[in-house]
């Protein structure tokens, strides 16, 4: 009892900074899911026939599936007929310049700290090309022309379907097939937009690429799809950010990210996930059911996932690497923080198919309040994969005595030359540590931020510079008010 419990009693919600809602006229489809809705989405997007077929096939497969129940998460059944599957801010069809974007939209992204004004960004030290997605559609992609000079394609998924149908047809579903899982099948049926990126042979992308997801309209689900193709010998660093308004209802976000990495290519994918987590009693918040997977297709290819998960009422996501090319490398670095009533079931899968493939998993969970935080990971070594190396480290940090931390590591080895290591630790932020900081003049909240940042350092160090600073602040903000 004593301080420890008082500390917990003071576990109040940190203010969610991005909880505002923008008053933007939207064009929405009626609630519910059926073939007509899918046809409507497809026709709004002016899609070719094969894509509609693909969607319908996915939908019909989805109908045969049951929602997965194996996650260490609890939520009332989702009524899939009570969701709006398409909502788009109303604006002119084709934008020629930034001036034509609805000012309210620009304001929304400004408030979120995302500049869609290329001039502004150019004056800064570094540049990031952004694809801004509001509800179901991409609002604006910046630096498209600059990137095109090096042959890089970076645009919204809808544009890619129109302008680069061959690439889309070749790679869509090649890493996450429509039959993959319940939410991936759902996404394939109704996805409305997302980002597409293609880095040609031998090109090192000169700037960070980023997609920013924003859910705005009430009652909508967001189902976007990101497809990244890194051709031979190329390199790209990709960032993803997300926020949503504060609402009492739960909103579903079921995205798919597919990454295709060719020989000698490298992709670094970083996420700072800050969806609305719900209030401190667990009311509202985003259900984040996401499938992220990369295929290291070519020899010596490399894929690195870095994620900082602070938001969502429920997180269900396992960014994975299929290491098919010989000597390919997969990495997963994760910090997942849950506070109040949040639930996270997250981790990674490393599938070793090629010879001499290597993988590394570093997962750092932080649980506070009454939250539940689970690591779930799979390391699989196939029979012909000789000399595989894997190292997994799963650490849990607990604050208070009402939260939970769980680890579910699965290891399946079919080749006896594999060397697989798993380390796990569980620790608690001690009152002693906090008091020690206090005694040196550091406030309790700063002490927690200091301790958590120290704990998560190995992962934060993997983030691109400007993201790392943002992430550190976010960690502090998420745990704000979690001690008295």
Partner 1 sequence: MLKINNLHVSIDDKPILNGINLTVNKGEVHAIMGPNGSGKSTLASILAGKEEYTITKGTVTFEDKDLLALNPEDRAREGIFLAFQYPVEIPGVTSTNFLRTALNQIRQYKGVGQLDAVQFLKLMKEKMRLVEIDQSLISRPLNEGFSGGEKKKNEIFQMAMLEPKLAILDETDSGLDIDALKVVANGVNKLKSKENATIVITHYQRLLDYIIPDFVHVLYNGQIVMSGDKNLAYELEQKGYDWIKEDVAAQEKTS
Give the nearer residue to partner 1 in terms of CB position, either 8 or 295. Answer: 8
Stretch that binds partner 1, among 28-36, 205-213, 232-240, 441-449 (CB under 8 A): 441-449
Give the nearer residue to partner 1 in terms of CB position, either 7 or 254. Answer: 7
Stretch that binds partner 1, among 42-50, 125-133, 354-362, 439-447 (CB under 8 A): 439-447
The binder of partner 1 chosen from 299, 386, 458, 466 (CB under 8 A): 458
3-state SS track over the chain = CCHHHHHHHCCCCCCCCCCCCCCCCEEECCECCCHHHHHHHHHHCCCCHHHHHHHHHHHHHHHCCCCCCCCCCCCCCCCHHHCECCEEECCCCCCCCHHHCCHHHHHHHHHCCCCCCHHHHHHCCCCEEEEEEECCEEEEECCHHHHHCCCCEEEEHHHHHHHCHHHHHHHCCCCCCCCCCHHHHHHHHHCCEEEEEEECCCCECCCEEEEEEECCCCCECECEEEEEEECCCCEEEEEEEEECCCCCCEEEECCEEEEEECCCCEEEEEEEECCCCCCCCCCCEEEEEEEEEEEECCCCCEEEEEEEECCCCEEEECCEEEECCCCCEEEEEEEEEECCCCEEEECCEEEECCCCCEEEEEEEEEECCCCEEEEEEEEEECCCCCCCEEEEEEEEEECCCCCEEEEEEEEEECCCCCEEEEEEEEEECCHHHHHHHHHCCCCHHHHHHHHHHHHHHHHHCCCCHHHHHHHHHHHHHHCCCCCC
Identify residues 2-31 at the interface with partner 1 (CB under 8 A): 2-3
Give the nearer residue to partner 1 in terms of CB position, either 1 or 125. Answer: 1
The binder of partner 1 chosen from 49, 77, 103, 441 (CB under 8 A): 441
Query: Residue 457 interacts with partner 1 (CB under 8 A)?
Result: yes
Query: Residue 76 interacts with partner 1 (CB under 8 A)?
Result: no
Query: Residue 111 interacts with partner 1 (CB under 8 A)?
Result: no
Query: Residue 442 interacts with partner 1 (CB under 8 A)?
Result: yes
Give the nearer residue to partner 1 in terms of CB position, either 144 or 438. Answer: 438
Query: Residue 145 interacts with partner 1 (CB under 8 A)?
Result: no
- Tell me the sheet residues that pair with 306: 270, 333
Query: Residue 426 interacts with partner 1 (CB under 8 A)?
Result: no
Query: Which of 46, 75, 41 minimizes the C-alpha distance to 56?
Result: 41
Q: Among all chains, which residue has been given the structure tokens 């509001």?
A: 134
Query: Which of 102, 95, 163 minimizes the C-alpha distance to 134?
Result: 102
Nearest distance, CB of residue 422 and partner 1, angstroms: 20
User: Binding-site residue total for partner 1 (CB under 8 A)?
Assistant: 24
The binder of partner 1 chosen from 69, 81, 99, 439 (CB under 8 A): 439
Stretch that binds partner 1, among 177-185, 228-236, 246-254, 436-444 (CB under 8 A): 436-444
Query: Residue 454 interacts with partner 1 (CB under 8 A)?
Result: yes
Nearest distance, CB of residue 3 and partner 1, angstroms: 5
Nearest distance, CB of residue 440 and partner 1, angstroms: 4
The binder of partner 1 chosen from 437, 476, 480, 481 (CB under 8 A): 437
Nearest distance, CB of residue 478 and partner 1, angstroms: 18
Nearest distance, CB of residue 2 and partner 1, angstroms: 6
Query: Residue 455 interacts with partner 1 (CB under 8 A)?
Result: yes
Query: Which of 298, 277, 232 minimizes the C-alpha distance to 474?
Result: 277
Give the nearer residue to partner 1 in terms of CB position, either 110 or 453. Answer: 453
Give the nearer residue to partner 1 in terms of CB position, either 384 or 457. Answer: 457
The binder of partner 1 chosen from 78, 232, 444, 481 (CB under 8 A): 444
The binder of partner 1 chosen from 438, 477, 480, 481 (CB under 8 A): 438
How remote is the C-alpha of 147 from its chain's centroid? 24
The binder of partner 1 chosen from 32, 44, 453, 466 (CB under 8 A): 453
Stretch that binds partner 1, among 99-107, 231-239, 245-253, 456-464 (CB under 8 A): 456-464
The binder of partner 1 chosen from 450, 476, 480, 481 (CB under 8 A): 450
| Site of interaction with partner 1 (CB under 8 A) | 2-3, 430, 432-433, 435-444, 446, 450-451, 453-458
């Amino acid at each position: 009892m004593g301080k420890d419990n008082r500390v917990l009693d003071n576990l109040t919600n940190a203010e969610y900074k991005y909880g505002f809602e923008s008053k933007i006229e939207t064009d929405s489809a009626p609630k519910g899911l059926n073939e007509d809705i899918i046809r409507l989405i497809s026709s709004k997007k002016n899609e070719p026939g094969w894509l509609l077929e693909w969607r319908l096939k996915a939908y019909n497969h989805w109908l045969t599936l049951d929602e997965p129940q194996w996650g260490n998460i609890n939520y009332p059944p989702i009524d899939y007929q009570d969701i709006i599957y398409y909502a788009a801010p109303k604006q002119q069809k084709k934008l020629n310049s930034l001036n034509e974007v609805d000012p309210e939209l620009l304001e929304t992204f400004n408030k979120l700290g995302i500049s869609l004004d290329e001039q502004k960004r150019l004056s800064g030290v570094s540049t990031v090309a952004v694809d801004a997605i509001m509800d179901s559609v991409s609002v604006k992609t910046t630096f498209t022309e600059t990137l095109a000079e090096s042959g890089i394609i970076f645009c919204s998924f809808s544009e890619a379907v129109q302008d680069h149908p061959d690439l889309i047809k070749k790679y869509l579903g090649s890493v996450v097939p429509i039959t993959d899982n319940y939410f991936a099948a759902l996404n394939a049926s109704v996805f409305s937009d997302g980002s597409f990126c293609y880095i040609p042979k031998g090109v090192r992308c000169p700037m960070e690429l980023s997609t920013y997801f924003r859910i705005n309209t009430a009652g909508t689900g967001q189902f976007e799809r990101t497809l990244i193709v890194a051709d031979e010998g190329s390199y790209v660093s990709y960032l993803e950010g997300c926020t949503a308004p504060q609402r009492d209802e739960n909103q579903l976000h079921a995205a798919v990210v597919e990454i295709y990495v060719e020989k000698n290519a490298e992709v670094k994918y970083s996420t700072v996930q800050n969806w609305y987590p719900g209030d401190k009693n667990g009311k509202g918040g985003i259900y984040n059911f996401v499938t992220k997977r990369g295929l290291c297709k070519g020899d010596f290819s490399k894929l690195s996932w870095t994620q900082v998960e602070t938001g969502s009422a429920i997180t269900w996501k396992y960014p994975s690497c299929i290491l098919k090319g010989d000597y390919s490398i997969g990495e997963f670095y994760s910090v997942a923080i849950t506070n109040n009533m949040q639930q996270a079931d997250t981790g990674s899968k490393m599938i070793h198919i090629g010879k001499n493939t290597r993988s590394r998993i570093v997962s750092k969970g932080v649980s506070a309040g009454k939250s539940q935080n689970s690591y779930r990971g799979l390391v699989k070594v196939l029979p012909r994969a000789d000399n595989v190396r894997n190292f997994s480290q799963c650490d849990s940090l607990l604050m208070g005595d009402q939260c939970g931390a769980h680890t579910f590591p699965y290891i399946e080895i079919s080749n006896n030359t594999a060397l697989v290591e798993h380390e796990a630790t569980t620790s608690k932020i001690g009152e002693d540590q906090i008091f020690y900081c206090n005694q040196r003049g550091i406030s309790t909240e700063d002490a927690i931020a200091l301790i958590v940042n120290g704990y998560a350092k190995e992962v934060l160090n993997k983030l691109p510079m400007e993201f790392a600073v943002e992430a550190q602040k976010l960690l502090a903000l998420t745990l704000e008010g979690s001690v008295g």
